[in-house]
Amino acid sequence: MMCSIVPPYMLRRIAAQNEPRLRAVARAAKESLLHIKGLQAIRTAPVPAASPSARQAKPGPPKRTIFDARTTEELPGQLVRKEGAAPVGDAAADEAYDGLGGTHRLYGEVFGRDSIDDAGLPLDATVHYGKLYDNAFWNGSQMVFGDGDGQIFQRFTKSVSVIGHELAHGVTQYTANLAYRNQAGALNESMSDVFGVLVEQYIKQESVEQASWLIGQGLFTDQVQGAALRSMKAPGTAYDDDILGKDPQPDSMDSYVRTSADNGGVHINSGIPNRAFYLVAAELGGKAWEAPGQIWYGTLTSGALPATCTFGKFARTTLATAGELFGGGSPEHDAVRKAWDTVKVKV
């Protein structure tokens, strides 16, 4: 199923604008919403994990291919850059190429994973998709990036956390295959946020304290009162804008949002497990891709998560994974328990 970075509730706010200066933006948001609805109606079969024989003892190099849709919605588009080729001078194409490479490097160097499927899956991306297209998405086989409308959103390749986020949907697809609805869907989104920030932090070699913990930083134009799409450190504080409204993410189960919109609140309630991951990282300090990342990656690939996983089941599995990796009663194990207690998820 197609997973997009911009929540539908945000696009609906933009689509509802009727000021003359925002008509083009509103029209672009409406078209993006219709596009998301159409793609999400296409159900795809679960993707099997790579067989042991397909995996390499050591992750191989990336195999990146960047295409240009030239403002059409035809995929993949015209080939513009292949693996090993020099930069082409198109910011979106070169940012996509670098972001795919940084994501591949995190999974290979930190988690020993050979690309998205753990069997050397080629990484394809299409840039300049659609006209004023306000989104980026993983469609089950490749990345797709719009250029934004120029008033609310800039091009979606500007944020490496967005690239890492969308490719992480592919990792989830090949591992736990979490359903994209309700708490399982919120966990699906949260896993992508976790690995999205880890890609950005790993590329920049940032410590927990140095990192912004923002998803989509740099996407908004200077006309928007906001820093990013979401904040893992402080869910609900990423933006507060006349057009977009206020960031609706809760930071604990006390404010859990029950809704049928947004596939049961997948982009909203993901703030709760997001904050839990941040709290683990903040408690342990250092580099978030080390102990915290290993615990979350181990949980995702454990085979213990049902497709309809709840927050409680996920929390208990992270605690078990922390115990297996670092020992019961270790600082890592205690940090995980404390984080879930803080966000009011029962372990």
Could you list the active site residues?
A: 166, 267
Residues whose CB is less than 8 angstroms from the CB of residue 167 and which lie 6 or more positions away in sequence, other chains included? 100, 103, 116, 123, 138, 143, 195, 199
Place of tokens 């993006």: 32
Distance CA 84, CA 68 (A): 17
Please give the DSSP secondary-structure letter assigned to residue 45: P
What are the beta bridge partners of residue 79? 67
Distance CA 267, CA 180 (A): 10
Say if CB 181 and CB 152 are below 8 A apart: no
Here the tokens at position 60 are 């191989």
The closest alpha carbon to 62, from 107, 24, 25, belongs to 107
**H or E element that contains 101:** helix 91-111
The closest alpha carbon to 132, from 6, 227, 242, belongs to 6
Distance CA 244, CA 289 (A): 32
Distance CA 218, CA 171 (A): 25
If phi over 0 gives left and psi between -120 and 50 gives alpha, with beta otherwise, what is residue 286?
Answer: left
Say if CB 83 and CB 64 are below 8 A apart: yes
Residues whose CB is less than 8 angstroms from the CB of residue 322 and which lie 6 or more positions away in sequence, other chains included? 295, 330, 332, 333, 335, 336
Distance CA 89, CA 68 (A): 13
